[in-house]
Structure 1
Amino acid sequence: MAEMMFWGFAVRFVTSLIQASPFILAGFVTAAVLRRFFGYENTRKLFGEGTRSALFRAWLIGMLLPVCSLGAIPVIREMRRAGISGGTILAFAMSGPLFNPLSLLYGLTLSEPIAIISFAGCSLVIVTVVGLIWDRLYPNSALPISDEKAVAYGYRRVLAVGSAAGREAASGSFVYILVGLIGTGLLGALIPANSLQHTFNYDNTLAPLYMTAMAIPAYATPMLAMSQLGMMFQHANSIGAAFVLLVLGAGMNIGLLAWLYREYGFKRGTTWMVLLLSIVLALAYGLDKPLFPKDIEPANHTHAFDIYCQPFSGPQNVSYAEAMKLKLQRDINPFEWRPLWIFGLLILCGFTLKITDRSLKLEQWLEAAPPKQISGRGDIIVPGPVLGLLSLAGLVVLSIVGCFAYYPAPDECLEAMTDTRVGALSAALTMDHTETKYWAERYDDWTRKLEVGAYLRHGELSEYHRWKSRLLREKLEILEHEVEGGEREEVTKLISQISRSHNRMSHAFREEL
């Protein structure tokens, strides 16, 4: 039992780290840009420190930047150094991880896209109300403004950003990120496999409270949280619980909480948590019935949260170490490892700098102003804040461009579905529930990418096309349960129905867009 718990922790910890790596890298780059291109004074101006628009700016910047709740940690630490008030910092920390262009577009595949718009609006209400009250209670939460030295123009500014990112990656931010991942690992060690399937049903009035208890220690990337929302809407689970999942599951982790309590103390940290949870739960119960999908028959279960449970349901045919290796090979795409290696390299460079340059000679050289050498009228010195704005805009543009890669054109999606369709139906024919579930989930995911890819390229998606893919997903869900129940005759019928539904969906997206 103890061995299974240990390896359950390891699987969930490593999986979350891999999924979080690109968002964490974006966070370190953002923090370095704020420090070296903007500087403390211009960072305060960027976030509107001392103005009425500060909370809204923090919410808007957070919504645009491609960070997660772990990637937000180095950014809020830099905001803290810049002398920004606690309410504004925490507003960014909560809003940054909730949405980005990738996850927002994925939300369009929900049965009720208006729910995502409502959730986004409610997130603004949360950060505004909590931030205003918290700043009113604790008006002097900002650190004293310290002196800063600007980095010399030219290539030194670029080197300075790299140096700042590396040093930050080898600082307390790395520790807080590891602490944040521990929460998901503990859930994977302690919660029995498949035990959350009925916890968040629509008729369970305590579902938002149960979700609160699970979401705070859990870590979810914006994409993962959005996919779980999709499954909850597909099964007509508790909408209030779905809202709590987005705000607390994607927007918070225990590493961020550890930073909050260390920086602001127990009293202020607890005040913020009480305010946050009170407003989140009030909105969750307020949204539960108005946003409940009317055209879906409620199901009494969901597999959306199996990812937070123990990954092993019992003894394995191989060692747990080998089982973990096989699971990671199946669940993690090869390209998802690359950001992790880059993150590791950044940490290595940061520790190397800390060990070999304790006296900060590199920083002194970077800050030493070289003589101005302007060779012509077209050769100008671009101010650091301008480069900073361009860098942050570049991150936003990169995430938008990434949408077209992550959500391919309909023809490419349909072609990519071939393997998942064959895998799911073949596994169903052999009555292998594990394989059927594995391939059906990936088949389901491609149908959602199909919808978003079509929407991106055509600017709209009719209800007719939504229903074509939705019907296929519903049949896949039924197929999985019939295989689990050993109903071979029903499985055979469903395989034929799924094949026909797939052909109709394919025709609709190829010929009728």
Structure 2
Amino acid sequence: MAETLIWSFLLRFLQSLFSAAPFILAGLIIAGVFRRLMGRDLTVRMFGDNSRRSLVQAWGIGMLLPICSLGVIPVIRELRRTGLKGGTILAFAMSAPLFNPLSVLYGLTLSEPWAIITFAFCSLLVVTGVGFVWDRIFPDSGNTKPPPAEVAFGLKRMLSIAVAAGREAGGVSAIFILIGLIGVAMLGVIIPAGGLQHAMNGDNPFAPLTMSGVAVPVYATPMLAMSQLGMMFQHANSPGAAFVLLVLGAGMNLGLAAWMWRQYGLKKCGVWFALLLAIVLGLAYGVDRPLYPHEIDAADHTHAFDIYCRPFHGVVPNASQVVIEKLKRDIQPYELYASIALGAVVLFGLILNLFDRNCRIEAWLEKQQETAEPSRFDIIVPAPVLGGLFLVGLVFASILGCYAYYPPPGEVLEEMNIAKAEALGAALVGDEVHSKYWIDIYQDWSRKLEVGVYLRDWKLSDYHRIKSRILREQLELLKHEVEHYNEDKEHGDNHAEYEDTAEIRELVSKVNISQVRLKTAFLDER
């Protein structure tokens, strides 16, 4: 049993690390840009110069940058050096991981669009409300440090960004990121497999409270949080619990909480969390009934949170091999490449921090050497302008990336045919693991189909939404029926097993028909 728990911890740790790697890389680069290109004065002005509008500006900037609650740690460490108030920094820290262009578009397909818009508005109320009160209680939370000297234009300026990012990747930021990863991995040991399947039902008045108890150690990327919200709405779970998951699950983690404790002390950190929980739970219970999807038949359980529970039931023989196979299957290529790049940056940072503790390389970069006068054809871009262009370009790249992440309908339908063959074939033979894996992919592609159409036509009719919803509901029923089949098979109930097989075949036929109708609707009836 102990060996299984160890492998459960490693699996959840590595799953979170691979999914976080692209966002951590983005956070390291953004921190380097703030430090070396934007500079302290321009960064402070961009965040409202500690004025009344600074909290709203921090929320808006956070909504645009593609980082998660782990990737935001090096950024807020840099903001802390600039002297921004704690309320502004923490407002940015919590808003940045909640939304980005990819996740917002995805979220609009998960339920009625006004539900996601309501969540975004409520997140604004949370970060500005908590930040305003906290700044009033602790007005002297800023801590300005001397800014680094400027680096001359050219390759040195670019290298200085890499050095700043490396220092963070192999330094203090890495410790807090590691704490965050350990927190979510510990949940994979403490919470039994399937332990949260019934806790978030829509008829459970304690669902938002229960979610608040597990959401802080949880780590969720913006896309993962949105997909979990979709599953909650699809199963008619508690919208209040969904809101708590978004704000605390995507917006917080134990590493971020540890950084707050380290920077502001136990008292200030405790006040922040008390205010945060009061406002989040108040809004959660406020939106719970108005946003409840009454048109959907409530399910008695959900698999949305299985990723935060123990991955195995009981003792698993050859757990190491099972973990390796699961990682090979689940890790996306871009996550693997980002993880390799992140490993290189961390190694670079460790070498710098071990062998250059006196920051000699920074001194060399900052040393101003006499150079020949630039020719009239040379264009020297000031560092703040270059930094601003980089940040704006990062936002536009995220928006343009939506078109690659959400392909046109023809390409999506081809991918759906592949997922359908794998999912239905596995379901017919009762392969629960394989069928669940491909059903989730199949459902995900159906949502990407909706977003892809909306991006290109700027509209999506209720007719097309219903066609996609019917397909996903049938796939969800198929997933549950395969579960029942395997449960009856384990208990030796031959009669129930026979009935389950018949039900699986009927659902497979319905899915095939729904796929044909979906294809016709999206290709010929737009």
Q: TM-score, normalised by structure 1?
A: 0.98
The unaligned stretches of length 5 or more in structure 2 are: 486-499
Look up the match of 1:268: 268
Q: Is the 8 A contact 1:34 1:388 kept in 2?
A: yes
User: For residue 492 of structure 1, what is the amino acid of its counterpart?
Assistant: R
Q: Aligned-pair distance for 1:153?
A: 1.7
Equivalent residue, structure 1, for 2:280: 280
Deviation at 1:148, TM superposition (A): 3.2
Residue deviations 1:34-78 (CA, integer Å, cap 9, x gap)? 000012222111111222211111101100000000000000000
* C-alpha separation in 2, matches of 1:375 and 1:424: 63
Amino acid at match of 1:295: E
Distance 1:57 1:159 in 2: 30
**Deviating more after overlay: 194-203 vs 91-100:** 194-203
Equivalent residue of 2:314, what SS?
A: coil
Please name the residue that 1:219 is paired with.
Answer: 219
How many Å apart are 1:316 and its aligned residue?
A: 3.0
The one-letter amino acid of 2:503's match is E
Equivalent residue for 1:91?
A: 91
Q: Which moved more, 1:467-476 or 1:140-149?
A: 140-149
- 8 Å contact kept, 1:260–1:269: yes
| Aligned counterparts, 1:61-100, within 5 A | 61-100=61-100
The worse-fitting range, judged by mean Cα deviation, of 501-510 and 476-485 is: 476-485
Question: Partner residue of 2:330?
Answer: 331
CA distance in 1, matches of 2:83, 2:29: 20
Instruction: State the partner residue of 1:129.
Output: 129
Matched, 1:45 2:45: yes
8 Å CA contact 1:5–1:190 kept in 2: the answer is no
Q: Deviations over 1:298-346 (max 9, x none)?
A: 11111101111111113334x1111110110111123320100000000
Residue 383 of structure 1 pairs with residue 385 of structure 2: no
1:508 lines up with 2:521 in the alignment = yes
Q: Give the whole-Å Cα distance in 2 for the aligned partners of 1:145 and 1:315.
A: 52
Q: Distance in 2 between matches of 1:265 and 1:484?
A: 48
SS in 1 for 2:437: helix
- What displacement does 1:374 show? 4.5
Q: 1:413 maps to what in 2?
A: 412
Structure 1 residues 111, 144: closer, same or farther in 2, change over 3 A? closer
One-letter amino acid of the structure 1 residue matched with residue 202 of structure 2: Y
1:7 matched residue in structure 2: 7
CA deviation string 1:444-483 (max 9, x = no partner): 1111111111111111111111111110000011111122
Find out whether 1:493 has 2:492 as its counterpart.
Answer: no
Q: 1:299 aligns to what SS in structure 2?
A: coil
Distance (whole Å) between structure 1 residues aligned to residue 370 and residue 393 of structure 2: 29
CA contact (8 A) 1:7 1:189 kept: no
> Which digits, 9 at most, give the CA deviation of each residue in 1:240-269, with x for residues without a partner?
000000000000000000000110001000
Distance across 1 between alignment mates of 2:147 and 2:88: 21
Query: Aligned AA for 1:394?
Result: G
1:321 corresponds in structure 2 to 320
In 2, distance between residues paired with 1:75 and 1:335?
22
1:371 partnered with 2:384 = no
- Following superposition, the deviation at residue 190 of structure 1 comes to 1.4
Taking structure 2 as the reference length, the TM-score comes to: 0.95
Offset from partner CA, 1:88-129 (integer Å, 9 cap, x none): 000000100000011111001112121111111111111111
Structure 2 letter corresponding to 1:169: A
The share of aligned pairs that are identical, in percent, is: 56
Q: Which moved more, 1:307-316 or 1:373-382?
A: 373-382
Equivalent position amino acid for 1:440 in 2: I
- d(CA) in 1 for partners of 2:429 and 2:379? 69
- Give, in whole Å, the separation in 1 of the partners of 2:512 and 2:454: 24
Counterpart AA for 2:359: L
Deviations 1:346-376 (A, max 9, x none): 0111112223323322111211223364544
Q: Is the 8 A contact 1:64 1:100 kept in 2?
A: yes
- Cα distance in 1 for partners of 2:222, 2:333 equals 20
- How many residues of Structure 1 are paired with residues of Structure 2 in the alignment? 512
Once residues 132 and 340 of structure 2 are traced to their aligned partners in structure 1, the CA distance between those partners, rounded to angstroms, is 40
Task: Report the counterpart of residue 210 of structure 1 in structure 2.
Answer: 210
> How far apart in 2 are the matches of 1:366 and 1:494?
65
Q: Bigger shift: 257-266 or 2-11?
A: 2-11
